[in-house]
Structure 1
Amino acid sequence: MAAVKIVSWNINSVRFRIAIVEQFLREAEPDILCLQETKVVDEDFPFEMFRSLGYDHIVIHGQRMHHGVAILSRVPIAEDDRFDWQANREARHVGVRLPNGVRLENVYVPAGGDVPDRDVNPKFGQKLDFLERMTDWSARLDGPTILTGDFNIAPLPSDVWSHKALLKTVSHTPIEVAALDRLQASNDWVDLGRHFHPAPARLHTWWSYRSPDFTRNDRGRRLDHMWASGEAAKAARAHMVFEDCRSWLTPSDHVPIMTEFAF
């Protein structure tokens, strides 16, 4: 069986942070990189750097200034689908199939604004509706699938720096956690982060830019996830979070996560 390393990273502008993307690819050498929040239209995507490192198979779904997702691979991939779970044509999903038939779905779930009430904050309602559409799709899936990306939800008490302090903060509210739980149950998804690093182990992937030194108070959240179903889940061998990337020059507020599979 061949080992395949798949990374997910909300890069918060791929062109602005192209230097650290290159640094990471040279150091970690993943086979497949799933990016979210690329913030670039397709024709302006920085293809050259990725191709120079052997990532010749590129599927992108871009949007100017906002959103955007991409899958870059050293192994052949075939574009499979682009779902509009936001129902407003925002570029938040792209899916491919690997040579062995496994589906790989890359998603950027909306953040949801600041107030966890759909009546006063339409963005929060859009987030919940997005998750409901994903759940309907997930329930109809057949065959091994990997679902990864920035889910913008930290579901477990140990997925945030303070469960009590964040219960009313968007990304950790009970209503969001319940929506994510329904998505997970819809296809018996295995949360690979917690499969390999069981709660209550510390496992953060995001730290706000508001803190000049994120390490001082370490107020992190686990917003980035990699799930797998069926035979894909059984093929998972290890899961890593690259926390050091948060200290690199001009970092994203998210760090890469990587799962190694033996297909």
Structure 2
Amino acid sequence: MGFSITTWNINSVRLRMPIVEQLVLKHRPDILCLQETKVTNELFPAAPLRAMGYNHIIIHGQKGYHGVAIASRIPLTEDHRQDYCGVGDARHISAIFEHGNRRVRLHNFYVPAGGDEPDRTINPKFGLMRQHVPENEKLYTWWSYRAKDWEAADRGRRLDHIWSSSDLGPHLKRIEILKEARGWDRPSDHVPVTAHFDL
């Protein structure tokens, strides 16, 4: 059974709900994970997501800073939040979903960028492995707001990831990085990343 998860550092969900709707209407992921929502739980714009079929929403919000959310077409259980850094930031939320006779724990993390030096020999935070994409192929998920013409410069970073446990890895069929979203109206500096699994 086909199944997709999209992650997107939206950089203010209320400001960018129109492009969230654009993504959902065009690509229809089963689960959408958002980071840097920058809104408290009670002000999170859940109604537009529910109107598009995402009836299962869990939120760990924070005013003007951080914040994560999971919106799903399938039921979510065991809503859990953890403050890994012990400083009170809303950077993690997790839940369990079931699909294709599998029970999966999904974590949604917001981890601020690993520094200004994206060279893995200098900064090991950038030393991640890839599946389905050759090492020498440019693979960006973030382009700075500072660039006059981000697309022409095409100098970004791979800051957004979908990791899986080893038992799910073989079921990954493809990934999509929606570069065009960086050019949408009032965009985030990050773009959506979608993993497609056959579960």
Look up the equivalent residue of 2:8 and give its one-letter code: W
Q: How does 1:188-227 map to 2 (within 5 A)?
A: 191=129, 194-227=130-163
| Distance 1:172-1:69 versus aligned 2 partners, 3 A rule | farther
Look up the equivalent residue of 1:216 and give its one-letter code: A
Q: Report if aligned partners of 2:119, 2:126 keep a CA contact under 8 Å in 1.
A: no
SS of residue paired to 1:98 = strand
Residue in structure 2 matched with residue 169 of structure 1 by the alignment: 116
Look up the equivalent residue of 1:256 and give its one-letter code: P
| Distance 1:19-1:231 versus aligned 2 partners, 3 A rule | same
SS of residue paired to 2:108 = strand
Q: Deviations over 1:206-232 (max 9, x none)?
A: 010001220121111101111111221
Look up the equivalent residue of 1:108 and give its one-letter code: Y
In 1: Cα distance, 2:186 partner to 2:78 partner = 31
In 2: Cα distance, 1:82 partner to 1:250 partner = 30
Look up the equivalent residue of 1:89 and give its one-letter code: G
RMSD in angstroms over aligned alpha carbons? Answer: 1.7
Greater alpha carbon shift after TM alignment, 19-28 vs 225-234: 225-234
SS of residue paired to 1:238 = strand
Residue in structure 2 matched with residue 101 of structure 1 by the alignment: 103
Q: How does 1:113-152 map to 2 (within 5 A)?
A: 152=113
Residue in structure 1 matched with residue 61 of structure 2 by the alignment: 62
Offset at 1:19?
0.4
Number of residue pairs matched by the alignment:
196
Q: Report if aligned partners of 2:59, 2:68 keep a CA contact under 8 Å in 1.
A: yes
In 2: Cα distance, 1:28 partner to 1:197 partner = 21
Offset at 1:246?
0.3
SS of residue paired to 1:66 = coil
Which runs of no fewer than 5 residues in structure 1 stay unpaired?
111-151, 154-167, 185-190
| Distance 1:172-1:13 versus aligned 2 partners, 3 A rule | farther
In 2: Cα distance, 1:26 partner to 1:41 partner = 25
In 2: Cα distance, 1:101 partner to 1:176 partner = 35
Q: Report if aligned partners of 1:59, 1:79 keep a CA contact under 8 Å in 2.
A: no
Residue in structure 2 matched with residue 35 of structure 1 by the alignment: 34
In 1: Cα distance, 2:155 partner to 2:126 partner = 22
Normalised by the size of structure 2, how large is the TM-score? 0.92
Residue in structure 2 matched with residue 235 of structure 1 by the alignment: 171
In 1: Cα distance, 2:20 partner to 2:3 partner = 19
Structure 1 outlier segments of 4+, above 3 Å: 170-176
Look up the equivalent residue of 1:107 and give its one-letter code: F
SS of residue paired to 2:197 = strand
In 1: Cα distance, 2:58 partner to 2:20 partner = 17
In 1: Cα distance, 2:134 partner to 2:18 partner = 33
In 1: Cα distance, 2:22 partner to 2:61 partner = 23
Q: Deviations over 1:50-93 (max 9, x none)?
A: 00000000011000000000000001111342121121010001
Q: Report if aligned partners of 2:118, 2:126 keep a CA contact under 8 Å in 1.
A: no
Q: Report if aligned partners of 1:207, 1:214 keep a CA contact under 8 Å in 2.
A: yes
| Distance 1:172-1:62 versus aligned 2 partners, 3 A rule | farther
Q: Report if aligned partners of 1:102, 1:232 keep a CA contact under 8 Å in 2.
A: no
The answer as to 2:18 corresponding to 1:19 is: yes
Q: Deviations over 1:129-183 (max 9, x none)?
A: xxxxxxxxxxxxxxxxxxxxxxx34xxxxxxxxxxxxxx8245465642x565xx
